[in-house]
Amino acid sequence: MTQLLQYTITGLAVGMIYALIALGFALIWKSSRVANLALGQLVLISSWFTYGMLTQAKLPIWLGLIVTILFAIFLGWLIERFTLRPLIGQPALSLIAVTLGLAYFLEGLVTVIWPVSVAKLPALFPQEPVNIGTAVISQEYLWAAGVSLLLFAILSVFFKFHKMGIAMRATADDQLAIQACAVPITRIFSMSWIFACIVAAIGGVLVSSIGGITNALVETGFKSFSVVILGGMDSFLGCIIAGPIIGLCENVGAGYLTGIIGPGIKDLIPFVIIIIVMMIKPYGLFGEERIERI
């Protein structure tokens, strides 16, 4: 029972981070119909950048994090401007492939700059474990979940009330109409990439402050894909609900199945969920079913 509670709480907390990263995917997909397969690599490179700022350049933590956010903004702008914008109007296959190329490039770049494969961030959150009921939880998980929730709140206020947020929602709804309202649509695309990079960077810092930085961070991206698939690609609500579900399945499943099936089952669970969702309800829990006409 204690174990179950522990798995549940860590699962939910980690799931919130996955949901945060998945939100970046949904943002880009909604505004520009680009499927960003470089999600894990964005997480990877911003975690390494944080490591570079905090440990190698020895900046104070608050300054290092601000520099990381600035870096994410710059990265998002750069990616959109030089890889995605020339491809506006190209078939979906090219758009997916260009993000694959980007993934390959970023992973190579990380290896070239930081050839060491394992590193640890300085502690961002208090370390001592807390007791919830009978379970003992490492405090970092709760902080990470809290930060994620806070970001969700900020982003939803932004999308609800800010002019840019409203324009971004309108773009997701109807691209032609928003162009007719004289909103430069390329700026919206740019903004969505910038936001995606920011949430990927924050998600990356949260994940790597708990588990350290390795190249396995790329797998966080795959876990976020399963969040996106389960929740439905064009739904923010889907992300927020599916994230904790994936985290829960992963942790509870890993906790109880490792003894039966063998170690490493944890990495497999998100992919099995993807296959199951594809077979049963391919557009996810909250996704819009696409109706095509000739």
Partner 1 sequence: MSLPCGIRNYSYNTDTAIIRTRTQWVLFAAFLLLLFAMPLYIPRFGLDIINLIGITIIAVIGLNILVGYCGQLSIGHAGFMAVGAYTTAILTTTFGWPYFAALICSGISAGLIGLLFGMPSMRVKGFYLAITTIAAQFIIIWIINHWTDVTRGSIGMGVASASVGSFQFNSEIKQFYLITGITALCVLFATNLARGRAGRAFVAVRDNDLAAEVMGINVFSYKLLAFFLGCFFAGIAGSLFAQWRGNITAEDFTFSQSILYVGILIIGGLGTSIGPILGVGTMGLLLYWLLPVVLTPALEGMNIMPSGFSSGLGPMIFGTIMILSLVLEPRGLAHLWSLFKASYRLWPFSY
Span from 66-74, 153-161, 245-253, 286-294 in contact with partner 1 (CB under 8 A): 286-294
Binding of residue 122 to partner 1 (CB under 8 A): no
Number of residues that bind partner 1 (CB under 8 A): 48
In this chain, which of 1, 112, 180, 182 binds partner 1, going by CB under 8 A?
Answer: 112
Q: Which two tokens stand for residue 26?
A: 């949904």
Q: Residue 21 is which amino acid?
A: I
Binding mask 1-40 for partner 1 (x = CB under 8 A): ----------------------------------x-x---
In total, the chain counts a number of residues equal to 294
CA distance 21 to 37: 12
Binding of residue 293 to partner 1 (CB under 8 A): yes
Nearer to partner 1, 259 or 264 (CB): 264
Window 132 to 161, contacts with partner 1 (CB under 8 A): none
Binding of residue 214 to partner 1 (CB under 8 A): no
Binding mask 57-96 for partner 1 (x = CB under 8 A): --------------------------x--xx--x-xxx-x
Binding mask 233-252 for partner 1 (x = CB under 8 A): x-------------------
In this chain, which of 229, 245, 249, 254 binds partner 1, going by CB under 8 A?
Answer: 229
Instruction: Give burial (CB, 10 Å; 0-12/13-18/19+) of 89.
Output: exposed
Q: Could you tell me which residues are beta bridge partners of residue 132?
A: 135
Binding of residue 45 to partner 1 (CB under 8 A): no
In this chain, which of 4, 74, 78, 108 binds partner 1, going by CB under 8 A?
Answer: 108
The least distance separating partner 1 from the CB of residue 47, rounded to whole angstroms, comes to 16
Binding of residue 225 to partner 1 (CB under 8 A): yes
Contact of 239 with 227, CB cutoff 8 Å: yes
Window 261 to 280, contacts with partner 1 (CB under 8 A): 261-262, 264, 267-268, 271-272, 274-275, 278-279
| 266 CB-near residues (< 8 Å, 6+ apart) | 250, 251, 253, 254, 258
Smallest Cα–Cα separation from 226: which of 239, 213, 235, 236?
A: 239
Binding of residue 107 to partner 1 (CB under 8 A): yes
**Residues at the interface with partner 1 (CB under 8 A):** 35, 37, 83, 86-87, 90, 92-94, 96-98, 100-116, 222, 225, 229, 233, 261-262, 264, 267-268, 271-272, 274-275, 278-279, 282, 292-294
